[in-house]
Structure 1
Amino acid sequence: MEQVEERKLIASAKKGNDEAFTSLFQNNYTFLYKYLIKLSLDPGLTEDLTQETMLKAYIHLQHFKGDSKFSTWLISIASRVYIDHQRKIKRERKRLEKAKDDVIRKVKWDVSMGGHEWAEYMNQFAELDPDIRAPILLRHYYGFTYPEIAEMLSIKEGTVKTRVHNGIKRIRKEWS
C-alpha cells in the first residue's frame, strides 16, 4: 500500500470510519502476524496477540501522530502486548510455585503432626508434575492396575505405563 493511500485511510479511520480501519487492519495483518509468530512461536497465542494489538490500535488511533509508518506503530504496540503477556505468565508461574510450596509445607506439617516422617523421596515425589504424580500414586500406593488407572484418568494404558516408569526413574535418578 502506498503511503499516500495509507495516510488517507488513517485520517478517515481517525474520523470514525470503521471501514477505513478495517482496510488498515487487513493491509497490515499478515506483516503483524509474521512478526508475532516469530516472537511467540505459538500460532494460537499469535492470533490472540494480533487481535489484542489491533484492538489497542483501534482504541488509541487518535494518538498515532503519523511520524512513522502505520506498520511501525503497530509493531511497537505488538511488542508491548507481547512483553505484557510474558510478564503475566511469569507472575502466574510465581504465584503457582508459591501456592505449591505452601501446600507442600502444610502437608509436611500435617504428616509430622500425625507422627509420621516426611522422607526425602516425598520431596522428589512432590516435585513431579501432577500428570505424572497421579499415575504413580494410583499404581504404587493404592494398587490399581494400569487399565484401571487409564480409565480413571481418561488416558491410554501405554501413557500410564510411560508416566509411571519415567516418574519412578526420575525419582531414582535424584536419589542416587
Structure 2
Amino acid sequence: MAEKMLYQDDILGDGSKARKTIKPDPAVPSLLKGSKRLGIWKNLEGCQDHSLGFWSEWDHRAARIMNQSLGPENSFEEQIEWTEQGKQWPYPIDNEYTLGHEAEVPFYEHVFLERHLAGLGLPKDGPIAHFMELVCVGLSKNPYMTIEKKMDHLKWFANFFNEEKQKLIKKLHEEEQLAAQQA
C-alpha cells in the first residue's frame, strides 16, 4: 500500500512494476565539456609538494611495511613478490636465469663424469668400480647440481672407499665368489 502512495507513477496499468528511465536533457549545457577556466590556478608551480626527500622516503617505507604485514592483495601482487624474493622466475621465462658461472661450464663436463674416476684412486674393476659407474650415471642425470657439487660427491665416495675398505670389499667379494662356485 505504501508503495502505491509513494511511487504511483512506477506501477503500470496491469499492476506490474516498472521504473521510469530518466534521460538527460540535451538543452542543458554540460559542466565538464567546453567550459572556460576560472583562472584560480594561474601558478601551478606553487601547488607542488615541497616536502623533504627524507620524509617522503620515510612515508614510503612506512607504507611498504604496512602493506607487507597485510600481504598481497591479489595473485598478481603475490607473483611479483615471489619474483622479487627469487621464488619464481621473472617473465619472459629464461631457462638459464640463475646459472651464474655455471653457464660457462660445457655440457659434457656435467654428463661424462667417468673420466674423473681414474684420478680418484678407485679400482678399475669389481663392485666398487661398478658402484662408482652407477654414481656417475646418477650424477650426470641431475641437472640441478653444479659441477663442483658433482665433483665433491665423487671425492666423498673416493674417501669413503679408501684402500682399507677396498681391501675388505675385495676380500668379501672373493669369498662370495668362492661360495657361489662351491654351491
The TM-score with structure 2 as length reference comes to: 0.27
Structure number having the greater helix percentage: 1
Greater C-alpha radius of gyration: 2
> Per chain length, whose mean CA-contact separation is higher, i.e. which structure has more relative contact order (CA < 8 Å, sep 6+)?
1
Q: State the TM-score, normalizing by the size of structure 1.
A: 0.27
